Amino acid sequence: MPLWTDMFILGLVLTNFRLLATSRLAAVIQTTVLQAVFLIAIMLAMTPRPWPSLLILLSLITFVVKGALLPWLLSRAVREVKVLREIEPLVGYSASVLTGVALLGLSFLIFLPMKGAVSVGSDFLLPGALFTTLTGLLVIVSRKKALTQVVGYLVMENGVYAFGTALAVEEPLLVQMGVLLDVFVAVFIMGITVHQISREFDHIDTDRLSELKD
């Protein structure tokens, strides 16, 4: 069903806007869960039924890692460092959303000539994936809290994952597993680091770390 695929990609795009517009860390983490659900939905909607058992296995693993484990780790970190909001982002929330609109336009512009050349389930998948990647990047560079930056990294990886669904429909398992493992380890380490930083310095503001002297 191409219409369903379109709807789910649209959902993915909208979660990106939500990420750019919100200051609450709880909402930011919730967005990653939503994105995981949409990624799996896109993958399943694009594959004709009956679904191969490999695909079902992969989506299960994806959901456990992206939709349950990583958000759980992140919300535990939020609870431990007791930070609820991103107070002063480098780019304001309205400006972030407007930049997001520009990035979405750019993504469509880039993939417009490629329409039909690459046979993927939907014309919107590649622009949607690129937009997700760029949103992650924007979040990493424009927010100060380490936790939001971790989520930005996650979202960037979600974009790469969506690219993977588009271009490697046949042989996804090995690539996807590798990426998933990478992200899992990265977030795990970042979670520990964030915790350590906040214990040593009483805050997790990465901006102030650059002023450290020896």
Return residues touching another protein (CB under 8 A). Answer: 3, 6-7, 10, 13-14, 17, 21, 93-94, 97-98, 100-101, 104-105, 108, 112, 115, 123-124, 127
Nearer to another protein, 14 or 189 (CB): 14
Q: How far is the CB of 205 from another protein (least distance, A)?
A: 23
Q: How far is the CB of 5 from another protein (least distance, A)?
A: 10
Q: Please tell me the distance from the alpha carbon of residue 42 to that of residue 121, in angstroms, as a whole number.
A: 9
| CB contact at 8 A, 204 and 83 | yes
Give the SS3 label for residue 152: helix
Q: Please tell me the distance from the alpha carbon of residue 202 to that of residue 81, in angstroms, as a whole number.
A: 8
Q: How far is the CB of 105 from another protein (least distance, A)?
A: 6
Q: How far is the CB of 9 from another protein (least distance, A)?
A: 9
Q: Angle at the Cα of 7 (from 143 to 58), degrees rounded to 5?
A: 75
Q: How far is the CB of 59 from another protein (least distance, A)?
A: 22
Tokens of 106: 């750019």
Nearer to another protein, 135 or 149 (CB): 135
Nearer to another protein, 127 or 152 (CB): 127
Q: Please tell me the distance from the alpha carbon of residue 11 to that of residue 7, in angstroms, as a whole number.
A: 6
Measured from the Cβ of residue 92, the count of other Cβ atoms closer than 10 Å reads 11
Nearer to another protein, 115 or 208 (CB): 115
Residue 154 dihedral angles phi and psi, to the nearest 5°: -60, -45
Nearer to another protein, 21 or 189 (CB): 21
